[in-house]
Each structure stands twice: as C-alpha cells, then as structure tokens.
Amino acid sequence: MEEERRPAEGDRLPGEVIERYKQPEPGEVVERYVRPLPGRAAPARRRKRRRRHRRRGLWAAIVCLTVILGVTAGTWLWTLLRPEQPEWDGVESQGETQEITIPTYPTGEGARLEIVSDHGETLTVQEIYRRVNPSVVTVMAQLDGKMSVGTGVIFRPDGYILTNHHVLEGGRDCAIALDSGQTYEAKYVAGDAYNDLAILKVDLTGLSAAVFGDSDRLTVGDSVYAIGNPLGVELRGTLTDGIVSAINRDVWVDGRTMNLIQTNAALNSGNSGGPLINQYGQVVGINTIKMSSDYSNVEGLGFAIPSASMQRLVNDLLTYGEVQPEPSFGVMVNQLGTLLEEDLWGIQVVDVTPGSAADRAGIQEGDFVLSAAGTPVDSSQALLRVRRGLYVGDQVTMEIWRDGERLEVTLTLTDAVE
C-alpha cells in the first residue's frame, strides 16, 4: 500500500489563494494640521515671530472683548436706572396731525354743553351702566385704506356727540353706532387737536343724552367708571371701574402740557373719547390716553380730560368753530386758601406779573383774593373756575384783603394765557 504523502510546508494546494500582509518596519508616526493661508507660506524662520504676533493678537482680542462687555453692561445698567420715557397710547403726534375731511355740520346753532354742580344719591354699578350706556356710541372714521374706531358720548338729545380729536384725524367719512347696534352717518362740527376734543352731529332727535357733572368736585379715591370699545367694535359697551388716582395732573404729551384726571380704571385703544363716570352716574371726563412702556408692563395709568375744563372748550367749538384764547389775570397764588377771620377765606397772591391786568388794577404781592366775579375764592381751583368763564376783553371785579381791610378792584383782561 502506497504511503500517503502530506504536503510539505510552503507547498501550495491547487486553487488556494493566499493573501500575505508584510508588516512595515517600525517608523515615526507624525500627525500634522496645517491651517490653510492665502498666498505663499511663510518661511520657517518666521515661526517664532509669528508666535509673538499671535500672543499680541490674543491680548488685543481680550482687551476688545473686555471693552465690549463693559459698554454692554453700562448700557444695560443705564436702561434700568434712567428715568423711563413714557409712551402714550391714544394721542397722535401733534407734528403729524392730519386734516379731517368728514362732511361738516354748521357751528353757531345755539347748542351748548351744560355742566351740573349738584348730584343725587350714590348709584350701584348696575344702575350707572343702565343710565349711561345708552349715551355711549361707537365712532368709526374711515381713513385712507383703514378705519379708526373709538368711543363717543351723546351730550344733547338732538344728536351732538363728543369724542377725541385723534379718533377722527385723517378721516373722510364717519359713522356712529348706538348701543342698540343701529348705525348712522355722522357729520363733523368742529375740533381742536391741541386739547384733543371733537364734536360730531347725527340727524336724530330724542336720543339719551348723558348728564355731565363737575370734575372739580372729585377727590382722590373717589370711585369712577369707564364705558367704551376697547380694541374695536367686537367689545363695544365694555364697563371697567377704578378710582381717581390724582386730579389736576399736568402731563407732557407730544409737545404740550395737558391737565388731566388720572385713574386706574382700565383703558385701552378704542376707549378714546369715551366717558369717565362718577359714582352718581355723571360724566366727569373724556378718556383720552393711557401710559405704556417698552421696558416694563404699565397698568392702571389712564387719563381723562376733566369736564370742568372742557365745558368752555366745547362751547367755543360749538359757537365759533375754534377755541378762543383764555384771559390771564397776571397773578400767582397759593393753591390752598387761608382762614383770615371767622368764616372768611382767601388765597394769597405770591407774585404779580408786571404790566398785567392784576398789576394795572393795583393788586400787590401778599394780598389775599376773597372773591372774583362775585364768587367766593378759597382755593386756586376756585379762581381758575372763574377764569374759565371769561374772555379777553372782559372786566372782572375782585375783592382783596390787605392789612385787615377789604378792597375792591376791577381787572380789564387784555392778555391771553400763554
């Protein structure tokens, strides 16, 4: 039997495929990263100098970053600490006042706004709403390509409506909607952009007119209410409540000072021209603006034009089509009165303008004004109320207390209030 032959080492069997891997001889492994640079590479001898330049660049970057962070932090701190500039929601810039081209209704028709000084019993919120809401209208002024929506108050049953001037600015047509939803065309009677008041007229009679009360009788803390159309027609007839936060608040708005009632009753865009109502159901103001801010939420800062100051303005617009200048007495007085004798009050004169009506009449610094035009004067507001009913060219008699004696002087009012 023939012995089987085994393959010797290194013999290849038929069909066998052998893959060989020969390990390379050990050598140094080098990993490189070369940053691509524009142009030719710098010579090797400049590497040390380049490293120094890199160090200088790093320090410069650190210094620039420090400066930027410091400026940013300073700006942020200034933003927090600086007096915030308020923005007013509701009054357009006086420099951008646009002409009102709504069809007009004639002035001089004998219509007037009446203010009552008395009031009845305090009403519930429900009673106030039922009484005043029928006198509140939605004002819709057609502008170029859009519509301005605000609020108005009927102050005469024959269709005279009071609203804000900025609601109608740029308007070419106007309509009002009653609380019932019925819509009527409105005509433009007159307006005054500076005092932000305007009057509309609809051809209707027998309307429910609001009663206007005396805002001079308000005190801080009194309950007040607002009815209007916040944010548009869908929410018309919305009632909000609050208190009188301040009276005779001088507010600088768009280049002029407005003397307003401050309230925390909620006011929003669309409330402009609506009534501010006292607890007796009387309109004591026309809502005009709300303070807002880019830096923080501002709530409870609304403002209204007082009825006591708007009476003269509205009646001038109704009679003349424009506001007539108010006369100047030419005196500065203390805000609060002084008790001179039993039941005798007066306000002290602290300054007299040279050449003014008071100066020509002989009024002196230190005098006390007891009455003006036959009306007792016990505060600066009482004297201001008398002045609101006078015009340039009028004469007014004042009773003066000087060194324990009563004197009577007559002022000829030739100058207007600046």
The tokens for 348 are: 């002290």
Within a domain: residue 3?
no
pLDDT for res 122: 96
Asked if residue 374 lies in contact with residue 357, where contact means CB atoms within 8 angstroms, the answer is: no
Q: Looking at the structure, do residues 135 and 260 belong to the same domain, yes or no?
A: yes
Q: Looking at the structure, do residues 239 and 319 belong to the same domain, yes or no?
A: yes
Which amino acids are annotated catalytic? Answer: 166, 196, 272
Which range among 37-51, 205-219, 403-417 shows the weakest confidence by mean pLDDT?
A: 37-51
pLDDT for res 53: 57
Q: Looking at the structure, do residues 159 and 253 belong to the same domain, yes or no?
A: yes
Within a domain: residue 52?
no
Q: Looking at the structure, do residues 407 and 287 belong to the same domain, yes or no?
A: no
Strands 136-142 and 283-292: unpaired
| CATH classification at residue 384 | 2.30.42.10
pLDDT tens column, 96-144: 678 999 999 999 999 999 999 899 899 999 999 999 999 999 999 999 8
Number of domains in the chain: 2
CA 304 – CA 246 distance, rounded (Å): 11
Q: Looking at the structure, do residues 214 and 338 belong to the same domain, yes or no?
A: no
Within a domain: residue 337?
yes
pTM above threshold 0.85:
no
| CATH classification at residue 249 | 2.40.10.120
pLDDT for res 42: 46
Q: Count the neighbouring beta carbons within 10 Å of the beta carbon of residue 26.
A: 6
Q: Count the neighbouring beta carbons within 10 Å of the beta carbon of residue 80.
A: 9
Q: Looking at the structure, do residues 301 and 403 belong to the same domain, yes or no?
A: no
pLDDT tens column, 279-300: 999 999 999 976 665 555 566 7
pLDDT tens column, 70-95: 655 554 444 444 444 455 555 544 45
pLDDT tens column, 215-238: 999 999 999 999 998 876 778 889
pLDDT for res 294: 54
Q: Looking at the structure, do residues 303 and 340 belong to the same domain, yes or no?
A: no
Q: Which domain holds residue 228?
A: 87-324
Within a domain: residue 12?
no
pLDDT tens column, 238-291: 999 999 999 988 887 777 778 899 999 988 878 899 999 999 999 999 999 766
pLDDT tens column, 322-357: 999 989 999 999 888 888 888 888 999 999 999 999
Q: Looking at the structure, do residues 124 and 214 belong to the same domain, yes or no?
A: yes
The band of 39, judged by pLDDT with boundaries at 50, 70 and 90, is: very low
3-state helix vs strand vs coil in the chain, percent to 5:
20, 35, 45
Q: Looking at the structure, do residues 378 and 402 belong to the same domain, yes or no?
A: yes
Q: Looking at the structure, do residues 92 and 183 belong to the same domain, yes or no?
A: yes
pLDDT for res 28: 36
pLDDT for res 225: 97
Residue 415 has pLDDT above 60, yes or no: yes
Q: Quick one: average pLDDT of 32-51? A: 47
Q: Looking at the structure, do residues 107 and 165 belong to the same domain, yes or no?
A: yes
Q: Where are the beta strands (DSSP E) in 216-337?
A: 223-228, 238-253, 256-263, 275-278, 283-292, 302-306, 331-333
Q: Count the neighbouring beta carbons within 10 Å of the beta carbon of residue 354.
A: 7
